[in-house]
Amino acid sequence: MASVALLKAPPLPKKRTFLLVGVFSTGNNFKRRMALRRTWMQYEAVRSGDVVVRFFSGLHKSEQVNMELWREAQLYGDIYKLLIF
């Protein structure tokens, strides 16, 4: 299993970003987000900050799923939670 440090999203670069990839994901799709983190989010273009990848997720009806999503966002730094009404 890969180290969390290797999977953590690099901070938003101070330089101009070449491409922003937004991935819409539901709160309970942890395995799918991890698959992306372990595969194409490891390319040098992403690791260097030229390409920025962020997940966008709305709140889930389950409070437990929302708490897990919050912890995942804190751990990996690549999730933005959307308030959708």
Domain boundaries, the chain: 15-82
Percentage above 90 pLDDT, the chain: 68
> Model confidence over 8-21: pLDDT tens digits?
877 777 888 899 99
Percentage above 70 pLDDT, the chain: 94
pLDDT at 59: 87
- The encoded tokens of residue 52 equal 């920025």
Whole-prediction pTM: 0.84
Asked if 36 and 75 touch (Cβ cutoff 8 Å), the reply is no
The owner of tokens 């919050």 is: 70
Kindly tell me if the per-residue pLDDT of 35 is higher than 70.
yes
